[in-house]
Structure 1
Amino acid sequence: MGALALWLTDDAPASRVQAQAGQAYAIARSFARNPLAMLGAFIVGLLIVVALFAPWLAPYSPVGQNLEMRLMPPSAEHWLGTDELGRDILSRIIHGARITLLIVVMVALISAPIGLLIGAVAGYFGGWVDRILMAITDVFLSLPKLIMALAFVAALGAGLQNAIIAIAITAWPAYARIARAETLTFRKSEFIAAVELQGASNLRIIGIHVLPLCMSSTIIRVTLDMAGIILTAAGLGFLGLGAQPPLPEWGAMISRGRSFILDQWWVATMPGFAIIIVSLGFCFLGDGLRDVLDPRQRDGR
């Protein structure tokens, strides 16, 4: 193990593989020294595990009703109590983790590449291309995300799939702005000029040289935005525009439990705690990734 550590920390790596492995090792060590980042990674990892193994972890069916057990408080039989239809809240929260993870992953996979490509193209070409693309981006940025998501869901129709599309449509402008700013910092650099002199096409330069350099900032922003995506999805579910019953979506669970908030507080409180904990986990993880991946943050320490 000592030899491996020496190989990873060698100041003069003998190959690209060694250099990349050493950089990853340094990033991992720096990340591990941040307790909040590790806590965020643990929460996000726990969310993934719960979502993957929900059928085996949930003690009851998330949709099974038992009216004789309706609105039961937390007990040894139902750890987080039951809702107005006698459904086990813990089981519904566990299965709801699948919906939450699906939403954040799909929104990231849709919005981040779109914003990354638009920002890189705008920053690379400049001129009228930049002005048109950034004008469109500014239009989207000028409107609140939740209001825009509500408008798109109202146009597309309620449902989980349409909610994902609506949130993705509202999320890409931030990534476009970041990618454009990153591209402008090295657009006139010598290595870009050298690639152009070799006859590389604009598409090749953007795809092979520009986009990879924008990835770290985009990954950081995507991770930090996960909390906002979860809250937006919960807001749509709360209004009945997200996942439809009987799917155990956390926002919809809070909406159904608000009628009992004074007497049967656990119905709405427990899924609310789940949203808060997962959102904090993504925030802590995003802050930790920003500290280890952003060169400006590293230089400032």
Structure 2
Amino acid sequence: MSRLQQWLSSESPESRWQASLGRSWRLLHMLLKNPLALLGSLIIIGLILVAAFAPWIAPQSPIGQDLGNRLLPPSSAHLMGTDELGRDIFSRVIHGSRITLLIVAMVAIISAPLGLLVGAVSGYYGGWMDKLLMGITDVFLSMPKLILALAFVAALGPGIENAIIAIAITAWPVYARIARAETLTFRQSEFIAATQMLGASDTRIIVRHVLPLCTSSMIVRMTLDMAGIILTAAGLGFLGLGAQPPLPEWGAMISRGRTFILDQWWVATMPGIAIIVVSLGFCFLGDGLRDVLDPRNEGQR
């Protein structure tokens, strides 16, 4: 193992592969030294595992009703109690992790690349294109995300697919701003000029050189934004505009449980705790990634 560590930590790597693995190993080592980042990573890994094995972890069906056992408190038979239709809340929370993970993944896949591309193109070309793209970006940034998402969902109609589209539309402007700022810092650098002199097209420069340099900041921001995306999705579900019944979406579960919040507190509290824990996990991981990927810490690696 020591020989492998020496090979990974070599200051003069013999190949690009060794350099890439060495940098990844140093970043992982720094991430593991951050307690909060480690805790956040464990929470996110736990979320992924729970979502992947939900049918085997959940003791009961998430949509099966049992009116004879409605509104039962937490017990050994029902770890988180039952709701107004006798459904096992623990099973619904477990299966709800799949919906949450789906929303987070799809929003990230749609909004981050879109914002990255818009920001890189805007910062690289400048001039009228920069004004046009950043003008559109500022229009989206000028409105609160939840209000804008509500407007899009109201236009598209309720449903989990439309909720994902609405949240993605409201999320991309932040990534565009970050990518533009990063691009402006090295747009006039020597390596860009050298690449242009070699005859590389603007498309190749943006795709092969500009976008990779913006990726680190984008990953950090995207991880930190996951908590906001989860809360926005829960807000849409709470208002009945997200995942529709009988899907066990956490926000919709809180909405249905608010009627019983004084006497049967567990109906709304359990999915609320799940939202808080997962949101904190993404926040902790994002803070850790920000510290690890900060160029000012390069000398500590």
**Normalising to structure 1: TM-score of the pair?**
0.98
1:270 maps to 2:265: no
Instruction: Give the corresponding residue for 1:175.
Output: 175
RMSD across aligned C-alpha pairs, in angstroms?
A: 1.1
Amino acid across the alignment from 2:281: G
**3-state SS in 2 of match to 1:51:** helix
Amino acid across the alignment from 2:232: T
Instruction: Give the corresponding residue for 2:215.
Output: 215
Deviation per residue, 1:123-148 (Å, 9 max, x gap): 00001110110011011001000000
Asked if structure 2 preserves the Cα contact closer than 8 Å seen for 1:291 and 1:298, the reply is no
- 1:144-163 superposed matches below 5 A: 144-163=144-163
Instruction: Give the corresponding residue for 2:75.
Output: 75
1:192 maps to 2:192: yes
Q: What is the CA–CA distance in structure 2 between the aligned matches of 1:269 and 1:231, rounded to whole Å?
A: 15
Q: What is the CA–CA distance in structure 2 between the aligned matches of 1:29 and 1:223, rounded to whole Å?
A: 19
Instruction: Give the corresponding residue for 1:279.
Output: 279
Instruction: Give the corresponding residue for 1:24.
Output: 24
Shift of residue 114, structure 1, vs aligned partner: 0.5
Task: Mark the runs of 5 or more structure 1 residues left unpaired by the alignment.
Answer: none
Instruction: Give the corresponding residue for 2:238.
Output: 238
Shift of residue 21, structure 1, vs aligned partner: 1.4
% same residue: 73
Shift of residue 294, structure 1, vs aligned partner: 2.4
Shift of residue 14, structure 1, vs aligned partner: 1.7
Q: What is the CA–CA distance in structure 1 between the aligned matches of 2:37 and 2:8, rounded to whole Å?
A: 23
- 1:116-127 superposed matches below 5 A: 116-127=116-127
Q: What is the CA–CA distance in structure 2 between the aligned matches of 1:288 and 1:117, rounded to whole Å?
A: 25
Asked if structure 2 preserves the Cα contact closer than 8 Å seen for 1:290 and 1:297, the reply is no
**3-state SS in 2 of match to 1:108:** helix
Asked if structure 2 preserves the Cα contact closer than 8 Å seen for 1:223 and 1:286, the reply is yes
Moved over 2 A (4+): 296-301
Instruction: Give the corresponding residue for 2:140.
Output: 140
Asked if structure 2 preserves the Cα contact closer than 8 Å seen for 1:70 and 1:86, the reply is yes
**3-state SS in 1 of match to 2:214:** helix
**3-state SS in 1 of match to 2:110:** helix
Aligned residues: 301
Deviation per residue, 1:2-38 (Å, 9 max, x gap): 1111111112222222211111111111001000000
Q: What is the CA–CA distance in structure 1 between the aligned matches of 2:167 and 2:297, rounded to whole Å?
A: 29
Amino acid across the alignment from 1:277: V
Amino acid across the alignment from 2:173: P
Shift of residue 296, structure 1, vs aligned partner: 3.6
Shift of residue 297, structure 1, vs aligned partner: 5.3
Q: What is the CA–CA distance in structure 2 between the aligned matches of 1:264 and 1:293, rounded to whole Å?
A: 45
Instruction: Give the corresponding residue for 2:259.
Output: 259
- 1:103-122 superposed matches below 5 A: 103-122=103-122
**Normalising to structure 2: TM-score of the pair?**
0.98
Instruction: Give the corresponding residue for 1:6.
Output: 6
Q: What is the CA–CA distance in structure 2 between the aligned matches of 1:198 and 1:242, rounded to whole Å?
A: 51
1:15 maps to 2:15: yes
Q: What is the CA–CA distance in structure 1 between the aligned matches of 2:271 and 2:188, rounded to whole Å?
A: 50
Amino acid across the alignment from 1:149: A
Amino acid across the alignment from 1:32: L
Shift of residue 115, structure 1, vs aligned partner: 0.2
Instruction: Give the corresponding residue for 1:165.
Output: 165
Q: What is the CA–CA distance in structure 2 between the aligned matches of 1:296 and 1:166, rounded to whole Å?
A: 36
Instruction: Give the corresponding residue for 1:201.
Output: 201
Deviation per residue, 1:38-65 (Å, 9 max, x gap): 0000000000000011001000000000
Shift of residue 265, structure 1, vs aligned partner: 0.1
Deviation per residue, 1:75-133 (Å, 9 max, x gap): 01000000000000000000000000000000000000100000000000001110110
Asked if structure 2 preserves the Cα contact closer than 8 Å seen for 1:234 and 1:252, the reply is yes
Amino acid across the alignment from 2:242: G
